[in-house]
């Protein structure tokens, strides 16, 4: 019995000693070695995954998706962990859409981190990750897709690959705070085979707000098609067209040419990505004559029937300005001056108005300041300060020379004429996150009578004898103004004889306008350079589609 | 009053002494190992060791001597000074009562606690497994969420692409649809009486095909007249225009190419309307407006062909 007890005592002692050793080891691991073990565990078992926020969708006024985000993967590799780069490159190349040499170059770099692909579509990334190649990892990201490709690409802008895909240009940039949302973070503890055994959301991701634009994809498409056709015929440097509702200032189309595929913006020069509708400063030429006439009408200096003796040319401040075509001295009414776009006539009206009043009216129509359309990169144009007017200033300013405007400024100014005299900031965003964006309030700049008189006069531009008489839409009465402005030659500093801006701004139905369109063609190279020949037909084609499409009756 | 320590000790000793008045007869305790002799119970332990197997009455541990009470504060609140020791004493009393409770004693002595412990351990393990499974499920759900998100985005992209004009226009053209020229589209000026007429037309959907044929004929006539008007205006415009040079003609040609229908579209529009499924829609429109419609045209927009109107007078 004593022997048994002795052995039990020995066993007990042995177990006690083992327990002490285990305790000591536990103390060691939990104490001095704890930091290293914690770090190792974090690396092997614990991962803090970034949960990318779904970027808000951009749709047109009918809910057609123009920009949408889809889950993708950012693939990276640690070249040090890749044993056979050539074999790996051979397997990865077709899945990444790269050549074997390109992948091999990346995998051969002497670094521990290389990007294999940014925003790789999920399916392709899944195939890559399914290969379970050591050293190849994927991180979830969101990929921006523009389903319509070139449609309104310059308006929508682009999204960068860095900084969680922040907007870089266009609406993607200006509305980034609303569209982006907030990325979340997830703490995942995995077991030995990588199976997650604990998932905790440390930060909830917040999806970005969807944005509804006032654009109409079909009108936008038509405007781009028309500009492309103009590009083929006249080969201009670039062109832009704006279609808007003059009553509300809602922009229905904002087209730019050359077209850019928003899914592949790098394929074109950076200049092609510019939204020229808001960033192109140009001398408006004859389209500015409406501003001079509006002011003079409103001031009561003239009426539509006021007669003027129009010589072939006029001298002012030592400078001679002549009409576009040679003609003997003639008598024209204000309406005829606008319809025939007489330079001499516009200058005479400007002189009648006086430089102070003229300058006031230029600013009252919104020139010299951004319209507030809410698109990034909007230029404000340039107007001559009153104190810098020279003796010849009133010889060129009333005919649209010596000041710079943007296409959106011109469209906005003509909207005021079309809607009865209220200047209203144009807008392109209809809703953000389902909440309507309030329409900007307008301010009256001319009376309804003046606006109606001007609309009536502008009908003459498209009537027989007008500068855009070739343009007509059966059933509709159109009104508008052509513009042909020579550009300053940067080499000589003088007006060029080969570089022009052809433009047309018009609306319909003339008596009760519901749709306005501005077309600006920069430097047409072949064929004509006149606004009535180059830009006005484009206006007609766009309006011919848009008017019945929108259900606008001829009135 | 604080009792002297010696008094408390002697009371404790008297309570633990065998044969004392408060000793109760209990069931023999199963001893599974060496017990730690404490205080005056050492003698009894020694007896137990000397004679193993002999059941001994349970020895209560000596009650610890109560600490000397602190004298109540002179200026302190009387309530708190009295309650604090009261709660402590009551807590100790409860603890002692639980320790000495027969139920606990029976539980520890019996085999139920083994089952209870096993059940608890198994429960803990099972709960851990459930948690693990839940987490794995969360992982699966997140994966599914990502998949659905991706599919949703993909569907949105497809939806946008399917409605693109570049896809719809050729399909519509293949189906014989053409874009109605702007001049051929007419709009109805709705009058209050039209509501009643429309309602009555709804009750009798398609009256007769004769009405639609009449409407189609009238439609063609109107279209042709408007087209001839437009061609007349075009000719006058070309005559009066000074800038009608070759490039201007080229521009006009480009214009005609870009727009899908122009002067020649009067017969196309009417034939397409007659040949396609829009004719029935037109007949509905005609009958709804009392067969007085002057024209009914089609507007192909984004691939949809819709009867837009009837005559202005209607």
Put simply, the answer to whether B251 touches A548 (Cβ < 8 Å) is no
Helix (H) or strand (E) holding B266, with range, is helix B265-275
What pLDDT is stored for residue B189 in this prediction?
78
Catalytic site residues of A?
Answer: 286
**Predicted confidence (pLDDT) per residue in B241-273, tens digit:** 333 333 333 333 333 333 333 333 333 333 333
* Integer CA distances (angstroms), A233 to A237, A248, A529, in order: 12, 34, 12
Check whether the bond before A509 is cis (ω within 30° of 0). Answer: yes
Put simply, the answer to whether B187 touches A534 (Cβ < 8 Å) is no
Task: Find where tokens 């009108």 sit.
Answer: A219
Put simply, the answer to whether B251 touches A148 (Cβ < 8 Å) is no
Task: Find where tokens 């890749």 sit.
Answer: A82
For chain B, the average pLDDT equals 56
> Which chain A residues are Cβ-neighbours of B181 within 8 angstroms?
474, 544
Helix (H) or strand (E) holding A117, with range, is strand A114-121
Kindly list the domain boundaries of chain B, sorted by start residue: 177-230+261-307
Cα distance between residue B10 and residue B21, in whole Å: 15
Q: Is the pLDDT of residue A380 over 50?
A: yes
Mean per-residue pLDDT for A424-431? 96
What pLDDT is stored for residue A154 in this prediction?
95
Q: Which of A185-189, B81-85, B89-93 has the lowest mean pLDDT?
A: B81-85
Q: Which two tokens stand for residue B302?
A: 């984004």
> Which chain B residues are Cβ-neighbours of A222 within 8 angstroms?
165
Put simply, the answer to whether A470 touches B248 (Cβ < 8 Å) is yes
pLDDT band, very low/low/confident/very high, at B200 (cuts 50, 70, 90): confident
Mean per-residue pLDDT for B6-31? 45
Three-state SS at B11: helix
B310 near B296, Cβ under 8 Å? Answer: yes
Calculate how close chain A gets to B272, using CA atoms only, in Å: 18
> Which chain B residues are Cβ-neighbours of A230 within 8 angstroms?
251, 254
Q: Is the pLDDT of residue B211 over 60?
A: no
**Predicted confidence (pLDDT) per residue in A233-247, tens digit:** 999 999 999 999 999
What helix, strand, coil percent values describe chain B, rounded to 5? 65, 5, 35
| Among B227, B224, B222, CA closest to B295 | B222
Mean per-residue pLDDT for A196-213? 86
Q: Is the pLDDT of residue A123 over 50?
A: yes
Q: Is the pLDDT of residue B237 over 60?
A: no
Q: What is the CATH number of domain A217-549?
A: 3.40.710.10
pLDDT band, very low/low/confident/very high, at A353 (cuts 50, 70, 90): very high
Contacts of the segment A368-373: beta carbons below 8 A, 24+ positions apart: A368/A403, A371/A278, A371/A406, A371/A408, A371/A409, A371/A412, A371/A425, A371/A426, A372/A425, A372/A426, A372/A440, A373/A251, A373/A278, A373/A408, A373/A425, A373/A426, A373/A427, A373/A428
A41 near A130, Cβ under 8 Å? Answer: no
Cα distance between residue B284 and residue B293, in whole Å: 11
A535 near A504, Cβ under 8 Å? Answer: yes
Put simply, the answer to whether A554 touches B302 (Cβ < 8 Å) is no
Q: For B298, name the nearest residue in chain A, comparing CA atoms only.
A: A548
Mean per-residue pLDDT for A418-436? 96
Comparison of pLDDT for A80 and B63, the residue scoring more? A80
Q: For A56, name the nearest residue in chain B, comparing CA atoms only.
A: B153
Phi, psi (rounded to 5 degrees) for A380: -105, 0
Mean per-residue pLDDT for A22-33? 90
> Which chain B residues are Cβ-neighbours of A145 within 8 angstroms?
153, 157
| Among A470, A489, A482, CA closest to A520 | A482
Mean per-residue pLDDT for A365-371? 95
Q: For B161, name the nearest residue in chain A, comparing CA atoms only.
A: A147
What pLDDT is stored for residue A11 in this prediction?
77
What pLDDT is stored for residue A192 in this prediction?
67
> Which of B160, B237, B243 lies closest to A530 in CB terms?
B243
Q: For B156, name the nearest residue in chain A, comparing CA atoms only.
A: A65
> Which chain B residues are Cβ-neighbours of A64 within 8 angstroms?
159-160, 163
Q: Which two tokens stand for residue B31?
A: 């001893």
Q: Is the pLDDT of residue A56 over 90?
A: yes
Comparison of pLDDT for B312 and B42, the residue scoring more? B42
What pLDDT is stored for residue B204 in this prediction?
58
Put simply, the answer to whether A122 touches B183 (Cβ < 8 Å) is no
What pLDDT is stored for residue A163 in this prediction?
56
Calculate how close chain B gets to A142, using CA atoms only, in Å: 10
What pLDDT is stored for residue A266 in this prediction?
83
Q: For B231, name the nearest residue in chain A, comparing CA atoms only.
A: A474
Put simply, the answer to whether A148 touches B160 (Cβ < 8 Å) is yes
What pLDDT is stored for residue A324 in this prediction?
82
**Predicted confidence (pLDDT) per residue in A294-319, tens digit:** 999 999 999 999 999 999 899 988 88
What pLDDT is stored for residue A356 in this prediction?
94
Put simply, the answer to whether A470 touches B226 (Cβ < 8 Å) is no
* Chains A–B, number of C-beta pairs less than 8 Å apart: 163
Task: Specify the pTM.
Answer: 0.69
DSSP-derived secondary structure for B105-123? HHHHHSSHHHHHHHHHHHH
Kindly list the domain boundaries of chain A, sorted by start residue: 217-549
Q: Is the pLDDT of residue B295 over 50?
A: no
Hey, which of A120-124, A546-550, B198-202 has the most confident mean pLDDT?
A546-550
Task: Find where tokens 């001499």 sit.
Answer: A344
What pLDDT is stored for residue A164 in this prediction?
61
* Percent residues over pLDDT 90 in chain A: 66
Q: Is the pLDDT of residue B7 over 60?
A: no
> Which of A151, A232, A532 lies closest to B243 in CB terms?
A532
What pLDDT is stored for residue A211 in this prediction?
96
Hey, which of A170-174, B175-179, B232-236 has the most confident mean pLDDT?
A170-174
Q: Is the pLDDT of residue B191 over 90?
A: no
What pLDDT is stored for residue A547 in this prediction?
93
Put simply, the answer to whether B156 touches A230 (Cβ < 8 Å) is no
- What does the DSSP 8-state code read for residue A112? S
> Which of A70, A475, A537 lies closest to B252 in CB terms?
A537
Calculate how close chain A gets to B197, using CA atoms only, in Å: 22
Three-state SS at A203: strand
């Amino acid at each position: 019995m004593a022997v048994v007890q002795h052995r039990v005592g020995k066993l007990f002692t042995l177990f006690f000693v083992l327990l002490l050793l285990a305790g000591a080891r536990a103390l060691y691991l939990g104490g001095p070695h704890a930091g290293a073990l914690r770090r190792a565990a974090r690396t092997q078992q614990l991962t803090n995954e970034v949960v990318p926020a779904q970027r808000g969708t951009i749709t047109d006024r009918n809910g057609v998706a123009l920009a949408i985000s889809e889950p993708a993967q950012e693939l990276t590799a640690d070249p040090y962990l890749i044993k056979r780069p050539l074999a790996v490159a051979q397997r990865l190349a077709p899945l990444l859409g790269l050549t074997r040499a390109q992948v091999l170059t990346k995998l051969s770099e002497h670094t521990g981190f290389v990007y294999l692909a940014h925003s790789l579509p999920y399916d392709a990334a899944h195939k890559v990750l399914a290969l379970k190649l050591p050293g190849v990892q994927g991180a979830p990201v969101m990929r921006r897709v523009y389903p319509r490709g070139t449609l309104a690409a310059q308006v929508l802008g682009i999204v960068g690959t860095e900084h969680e895909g922040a907007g870089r240009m266009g609406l993607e940039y200006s509305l980034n705070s609303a569209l982006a949302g907030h990325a979340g973070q997830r703490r995942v503890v995995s077991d030995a085979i990588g199976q997650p055994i604990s998932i905790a959301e440390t930060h909830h991701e917040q999806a970005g707000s969807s944005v509804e634009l006032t654009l109409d994809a079909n009108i936008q498409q038509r405007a781009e098609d028309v500009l492309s056709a103009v590009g083929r015929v006249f080969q201009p440097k670039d062109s832009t067209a704006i279609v808007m509702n003059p009553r509300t200032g809602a922009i229905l189309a904002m087209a730019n040419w050359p077209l850019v595929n928003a899914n592949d913006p790098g394929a074109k020069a950076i200049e092609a990505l510019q939204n020229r509708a808001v960033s192109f400063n140009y001398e408006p030429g004859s389209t500015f004559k409406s501003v001079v006439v509006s002011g003079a009408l409103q001031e009561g200096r003239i009426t539509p029937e006021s007669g003027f003796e129009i010589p072939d040319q006029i001298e002012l401040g030592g400078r001679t300005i002549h009409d576009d075509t040679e003609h003997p001295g003639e008598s024209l009414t204000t309406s005829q001056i606008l319809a025939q776009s007489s330079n001499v006539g516009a200058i005479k009206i400007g002189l009648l108005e006086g430089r102070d009043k003229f300058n006031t009216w230029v600013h009252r129509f919104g020139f010299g300041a951004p319209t507030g359309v809410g698109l990034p990169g909007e230029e404000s144009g340039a107007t001559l300060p009153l104190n810098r007017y020279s003796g010849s200033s009133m010889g060129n300013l009333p005919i649209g020379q010596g000041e710079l405007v943007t296409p959106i400024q011109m469209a906005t100014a003509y909207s005021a004429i079309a809607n009865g005299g209220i200047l209203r900031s144009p807008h392109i965003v209809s809703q953000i996150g389902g909440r309507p964006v309030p329409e900007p309030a307008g301010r009256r700049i001319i009376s309804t009578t003046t606006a109606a008189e001007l609309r009536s006069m502008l009908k003459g531009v498209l009537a027989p004898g007008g500068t855009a008489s070739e343009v007509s839409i059966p059933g509709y009465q159109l009104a508008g103004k052509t513009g042909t402005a020579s550009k300053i030659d940067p080499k000589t500093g003088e007006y060029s004889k080969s570089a022009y801006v052809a433009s047309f701004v018009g609306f319909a139905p003339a008596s009760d306008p519901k749709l306005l369109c501005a077309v600006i063609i920069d430097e047409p190279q072949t064929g004509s350079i006149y606004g009535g020949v180059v830009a006005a037909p484009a206006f007609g084609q766009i309006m011919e589609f848009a008017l019945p499409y929108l259900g606008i009756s001829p009135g | 009053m604080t009792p002297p320590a010696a008094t408390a000790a002697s009371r404790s000793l008297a309570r633990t002494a065998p044969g004392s008045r408060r000793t109760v007869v209990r069931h023999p305790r199963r001893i599974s190992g060496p017990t730690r002799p404490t205080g005056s119970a050492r003698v009894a332990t020694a007896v137990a060791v000397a004679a193993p197997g002999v059941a001994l009455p349970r020895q209560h541990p000596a009650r610890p001597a109560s600490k000397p009470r602190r004298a109540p504060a002179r200026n302190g609140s009387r309530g708190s000074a009295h309650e604090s020791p009261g709660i402590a004493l009551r807590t100790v009393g409860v603890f002692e009562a639980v320790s000495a409770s027969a139920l606990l004693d029976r539980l520890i002595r019996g085999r139920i606690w083994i089952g209870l412990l096993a059940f608890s351990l198994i429960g803990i393990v099972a709960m851990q497994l459930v948690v693990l499974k839940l987490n794995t499920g969360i992982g699966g759900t997140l994966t599914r969420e990502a998949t659905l998100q991706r599919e949703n985005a993909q569907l949105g992209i497809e939806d946008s692409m399917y409605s693109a004009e570049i896809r719809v226009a050729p399909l519509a053209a293949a189906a014989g649809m053409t874009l109605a020229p702007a001049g051929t589209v007419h709009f109805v000026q709705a009058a209050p009486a039209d509501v009643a007429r429309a309602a009555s037309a709804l009750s009798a959907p398609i009256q007769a095909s004769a009405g639609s044929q009449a409407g189609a004929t009238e439609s063609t006539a109107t279209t042709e007249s408007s087209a001839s008007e437009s061609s007349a205006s075009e000719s006058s415009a070309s005559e009066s225009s000074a800038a009608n040079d070759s490039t201007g003609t080229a521009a006009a040609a480009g214009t005609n190419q870009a727009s899908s229908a122009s002067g020649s579209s009067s017969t196309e529009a009417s034939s397409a309307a007659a040949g396609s499924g829009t004719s029935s829609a037109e007949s509905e429109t005609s009958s709804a407006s009392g067969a007085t419609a002057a024209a009914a045209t089609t507007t192909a927009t984004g691939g949809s062909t819709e009867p837009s109107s009837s005559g202005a007078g209607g």
